[in-house]
Structure 1
Amino acid sequence: MNNNVVKKAIVVSLLAGAPAVAANPALQLTGDMTVSGLSSGGYMAVQFHLAFSEQVNGAAIIAGGPLYCAQNSLAIAFAHCMGKPDAKPDLTAINQYLNQLEQARLLPGKQNLKDDKVWILHGTQDTTVHPNVGKALVSQYQQWLAPENLRFVADQEFAHHFPTDNSQGTACDVSAPPFIANCNYDAAGELLSHLLGELEPKVDTTTGNLWQLTQSQAASQLATTGYAYVPQRCAAGHPCRLHISFHGCKQHVAAVDDAYLRHTGLNHYADSNDLVILYPQAAPSAFNPHGCWDWWGYTGEQYISRQAPQLQAVMLMAKQLTTADN
């Protein structure tokens, strides 16, 4: 049996039993769950993919790096996972730790990844996360995926941002709030088509709604509210697929209002392709002033395991979507 068929069954089973939280109808989500993210959200997308590899079928990462790159150390994060030209993530040490987590059943087996699709984009002009870090992520995934399932876009002169083909963002050579840029490049369409296959053309104007969701796990250090973009057909009960999109640092709602929720292009494909886009929200704190996702250990040592508080909180949000009055 195809690995992703098994994953579909697991996702449908898991999403069926979630607590009610807010006043929205239950969605009929299929087992096709995929993730994406920018910067710290890219790191988080990889963490979510590996921690829930029985359920997640693919991941897209923009300007991110390998799983457990920081090795629970802010010093290593700055030295080898961000903008230094000599950054060199230690994949050997990382693999040893991942194997320990797998043996302890804190990560599922990496054989779950063999049929998954992964799309990685790293701009050549990115000085926030050096392209060498993105290349290390590619090397990491090459250990686990069939070559035809991995796509690496490394020839675009982008700064550190989410590139789009619309006029809502900054210049393409600028990395500045809201970290969404007008580059004449449709990253949303490129990543979704690799993860999901051939797509219907995106709509010019979205007609769905943003739902508010409670992010209730205090230990996760998330904002109190997360969001989901829900097309009208999905809200009416039509079967839809779930895509989770993790914002980058300084991109949460308190920092850039609804820019990341509305202007990456993901919602425009959601309307025409029956996709629900979940937008979890990190929150700034004394240890995390820019509202980044935890990719270095500020929530605890097991921040990449399936027990990690942020990963658990996001999966709970996904479950909420399938429950009436979620």
Structure 2
Amino acid sequence: MKNFTLKQACFISLASLVLTACGNPSAADGAKNSAPDGIEKPQQPVLSVSGLSSGAYMAMQFHLAFSEKVVGAGLIAGGPYFCAQGSIGIALQNCVANPDATIDLNALAATIEDYQQSGKLAESKYNQNDKVWLLHGTLDTRINGVVADQLALQAETLFAPENIEYVNDQAFAHVMPTLESGGSCVESASPFIGDCGYDAAGELLKHITQLPMPKSTKSIKALSQQLLTFKQGDYAGEHAETLGESAYLFVPQSCKDNINCDIHISFHGCNQNAEAVGDEYAKNAGFNAWADTNNLIVLYPQTKKSAFMPLNPQACWDWWGYTGENYANKDGKQIQAVMALVNSIPTIISNTK
């Protein structure tokens, strides 16, 4: 596990990787993971995930559920997988802001093993080559550093330690750090996007997907013209109950006619859904500029708030069990709904041209 300092905004670190499948050699040939026994992940498409806060919890759940398909995760201001153990009381006591949080990683490991053995999570062999990028700001008071550190420790038991980067020495509040978008970096306020002089989206994407190309020089306004809006219920079916009406899909021009491009799923945080902030997160989180030049489609699924059962007043992703006991595994309603959206991307693109 390593600590990484703030990089200068003008510096772009490029990894060497063949281009993705949209008119180029397949990225899967270079980015796919092989398990120790030679089991390989499916070649097309390369799938990665990231999230902020409740989105980080959901990204980890999705990753472990489908690690035979997912090559990496970027987790910002999150905590360990299954930290809440299906209880909102445990979630509030041990998994958010409490500096005296006590998390039994051994108990969580037992649940992970049980889920893996029962097929509710992917087998552990698929995790071995996956890459994980973690970030926790020193000014973040909504997710305590103790919780973030426990996530890092848990990650070292699930993934190869040399494939983990942990950034925990930057003065960021509970926000999505960007180079120049959003509000204050030292205050946690809507839309929870911080002008931090730090490209978190770029850093995590470069680590988990090894982007071959520098990011686009297009303006945010120009990139936003490639952002599609679609009705989640049309594609997620019966499991869309706790999702918002609409979601967003960033599609590079190169991917509109060739649907074999790689896919990144970005999960927003609590109070950061479309009802609360519109398309601010989808436009300004920083992913689109990198996606535009790297043949990468970005899916921004959306939750909705609810004052009734299932209770979710802040439109968080389910990381404590409000959608049912299987919320954190392959049988989870939101996890199934998001995978249904992923599988529907070719149709979504076709229907919204």
Calculate the TM-score normalised by the size of structure 1: 0.89
Deviation per residue, 1:237-264 (Å, 9 max, x gap): 2742100000000001110011101001
The partner residue of 1:257 within 278, 285, 288 is 278
SS in 2 for 1:143: helix
Cα gap change, 1:141 to 1:42, in 2 (>3 Å): same
- % of aligned pairs identical? 46
The aligned counterpart of 1:109 is 123
The partner residue of 2:336 within 298, 304, 312 is 312
The aligned counterpart of 1:93 is 107
Equivalent-residue separation in structure 2 for 1:59 and 1:224 (angstroms)? 26
Q: Runs of 5+ in structure 1 lacking a partner?
A: 10-29
Establish whether residue 210 from structure 1 lines up as the match of residue 224 from structure 2: no
Q: Runs of 5+ in structure 2 lacking a partner?
A: 1-31
The aligned counterpart of 1:300 is 324
SS in 1 for 2:139: coil
The aligned counterpart of 1:81 is 95
The partner residue of 1:284 within 305, 310, 319 is 305
The aligned counterpart of 2:209 is 196
Displacement of 1:131: 1.2
Letter in 2 for 1:306: K
Equivalent-residue separation in structure 2 for 1:156 and 1:213 (angstroms)? 36
Letter in 1 for 2:313: P
Establish whether residue 233 from structure 1 lines up as the match of residue 250 from structure 2: no
Q: Give the total of aligned pairs.
A: 305
Matches for 1:53-72 after TM superposition, within 5 Å = 53-72=67-86
Deviation per residue, 1:136-157 (Å, 9 max, x gap): 1111110122222110001101
Equivalent-residue separation in structure 2 for 1:272 and 1:104 (angstroms)? 40
Range with greater deviation from structure 2 (198-207 or 221-230): 198-207
SS in 1 for 2:133: strand
Range with greater deviation from structure 2 (228-237 or 195-204): 195-204
The aligned counterpart of 1:8 is 42
Letter in 1 for 2:326: Q
Does structure 2 conserve the Cα–Cα contact (< 8 Å) formed by 1:63 and 1:123? Answer: yes
Does structure 2 conserve the Cα–Cα contact (< 8 Å) formed by 1:60 and 1:119? Answer: yes
Does structure 2 conserve the Cα–Cα contact (< 8 Å) formed by 1:164 and 1:182? Answer: yes
Displacement of 1:97: 1.5
Does structure 1 conserve the Cα–Cα contact (< 8 Å) formed by 2:215 and 2:289? Answer: yes
Equivalent-residue separation in structure 1 for 2:316 and 2:212 (angstroms)? 31
Establish whether residue 177 from structure 1 lines up as the match of residue 197 from structure 2: no
Equivalent-residue separation in structure 2 for 1:136 and 1:292 (angstroms)? 21
Equivalent-residue separation in structure 2 for 1:195 and 1:106 (angstroms)? 24
Letter in 2 for 1:243: H
Matches for 1:106-185 after TM superposition, within 5 Å = 106-166=120-180, 168-185=181-198
Deviation per residue, 1:108-151 (Å, 9 max, x gap): 21221001010000001110010111111111110122222110
SS in 2 for 1:322: helix
> Cα RMSD over matched residues?
1.7
SS in 2 for 1:281: coil
Does structure 2 conserve the Cα–Cα contact (< 8 Å) formed by 1:7 and 1:31? Answer: no
Cα gap change, 1:2 to 1:188, in 2 (>3 Å): closer
Cα gap change, 1:190 to 1:163, in 2 (>3 Å): same
Equivalent-residue separation in structure 1 for 2:342 and 2:164 (angstroms)? 25
Equivalent-residue separation in structure 2 for 1:37 and 1:213 (angstroms)? 20
Does structure 2 conserve the Cα–Cα contact (< 8 Å) formed by 1:239 and 1:274? Answer: no
Matches for 1:21-36 after TM superposition, within 5 Å = 30-36=44-50
SS in 2 for 1:3: coil
Does structure 2 conserve the Cα–Cα contact (< 8 Å) formed by 1:245 and 1:278? Answer: yes
SS in 2 for 1:212: strand
Displacement of 1:218: 4.4
